[in-house]
Amino acid sequence: MELKDLIRRGPCAWEIPMRGPMKVPAVVYGNEALVREMDDKAREQAVNVACLPGIVRASYVMPDGHWGYGFPIGGVAAFDADQGGVVSAGGVGFDVSCGVRCLHTGLRRGDVLGVQQKLADALFADIPAGLGSQGAIRLNHQEMHDMLVGGAKWAVRKGWGSEADLDRIEEGGQMLHAKPGFVSDLAKTRQRPEMGTLGSGNHYLEVQEVGELHDAAIADAFGLHGGDIVVMIHCGSRGLGHQIGTDYLKRMVEAAPSHGLVLPDRELACAPLRSELGQQYLGAMRAAINCALANRQILTHLVRAVFARVLPQARLPLLYDVSHNTCKQEQHVVDGRRRELFVHRKGATRAFGPGHPDLPAALRAAGQPVLIGGSMGTGSYVLAGTQASEGLAFSSACHGAGRAMSRHQASKNWQGRQVVDELARQGIFVRSPSPRGVAEEAPGAYKDVAAVVDAAEQAGLARKVARLRPLVCVKG
């Protein structure tokens, strides 16, 4: 990304000033190297988002930002329904409520090393992964409806987990005001065999060791200590979410002229929040959020069953579960006034600061855990939300390392077997049904996750707590 037209607002903050049809400026977070590495298309998309009706304060790009569909991945934008604000299916993305869940195990490094390969094989055997992967669960019509309304709460009622899990899930495990009636039959049909599956792409399940602690006090509040073993699950709403995105993007493009919308890019298809189409999309999207929460809850149950066989001394309570592809109705202070806004986070994680009333009581003083997925070879991070993030980006932070090259480029640069063997030499055991998928997700295809989280901390978006090193990775 060219820096010549950007105004530096801080060590890791850059402004693209308003011009032409822009209603607000665009703000890009990242150090100079990260911003230079961002593709120019991400800049163009951030500017296009700033042109949408009812946008508030700015269009934001997180330090892991890169080119996406309509919105940049790593994009954040808030809209006010009272000011003609819109909801955009492209601003949420196709994998609605893709997110990360982190589980404690009560184990230490020495407990796992002796059974590392056995654990990798058992998780791979029991966790369906890969393109089109299917699980053993089949939902009938009523169960599908109940799942789309109930989310993780529905899964717990069905026996996949415990009530204690729900306190550590965003929205308490259930996104309210979901409307399954606005989800197409095709979307529901696609989802029937996919409950309890990881899917493909950058989705994964990892067994990780807590390494360097950056904030020992917050780490202790989160129950994290050096040498602890945790499990991280990264996946979303599978075929259902993808179909909802496909269905509503088409409808929004077709309806744009009737709403008086002139789109700078047809991928920015949107609808007024107060319109019938906008309300239908919100209802369907919230159902997809519940699908993702239920999916991660079922996967947690499957993971616990594997650990019960291989490492029966383990206990796997939930640290936290948070999504990074959503549009949420939230209250934020703008120009000294509290306003009801619809915050799009696409490839960006909610990051509420200390004291926020929506956080579990046990975590409230420390701030929200912000779970940052890295690549298979470089590790992941746990961050904590800051109070400053409210004014910087509507309490949002990065969500991962961010791609440095396309999947096509990565598959030309690496072979899956080569990546698996190299990681094994580093003590990281990868299991995947797709060698090509492993090549596409090679560590070298991603930005330096350490640089990304350093920039997020320097910008004030979140605070570094702990780095996690992978030991086992089940990859889609």
How far is residue 204's CA from residue 379's CA, in Å, rounded to a whole number? Answer: 13
Output the pTM of the full model: 0.97
Residue 426 lies in a domain: yes
Domain that holds residue 464: 7-83+92-475
Residue 2 lies in a domain: no
User: Could you list the active site residues?
Assistant: 399
H or E, element range at 262: none
**Which of 107, 408, 472, 139 has its CA nearest to residue 294?**
139
Residue 67 lies in a domain: yes
Q: Evaluate whether 470 touches 123 at the Cβ level (below 8 Å).
A: no
Residue 363 lies in a domain: yes
Residue 341 lies in a domain: yes
Residue 1 lies in a domain: no
Residue 432 lies in a domain: yes
What is the pLDDT tens value at each position of the chain, 476 positions in all?
Answer: 989 889 999 999 999 999 999 999 999 999 999 999 999 999 999 999 999 999 999 999 999 999 999 999 999 999 999 999 999 999 999 999 999 999 999 999 999 999 999 999 999 999 999 888 888 999 999 999 999 999 999 999 999 999 999 999 999 999 999 999 999 999 999 999 999 999 988 899 999 999 999 999 999 999 999 999 999 999 999 999 999 999 999 999 999 999 999 999 999 999 999 999 999 999 999 999 999 999 999 999 999 999 999 999 999 999 999 999 999 999 999 999 999 999 999 999 999 999 999 999 999 999 999 999 988 888 999 999 999 999 999 999 999 998 888 899 999 999 999 999 999 999 999 999 999 999 999 989 998 999 999 999 999 999 999 999 999 999 98
Residue 262 lies in a domain: yes
Contacts of 219 (CB under 8 A, 6+ apart): 210, 213, 225, 382, 465, 466
The total number of structural domains in the chain stands at 1
Phi, psi of 108 (to 5 degrees): -120, 170
How far is residue 289's CA from residue 457's CA, in Å, rounded to a whole number? Answer: 28
CATH number of the domain at 376, please.
3.90.1860.10
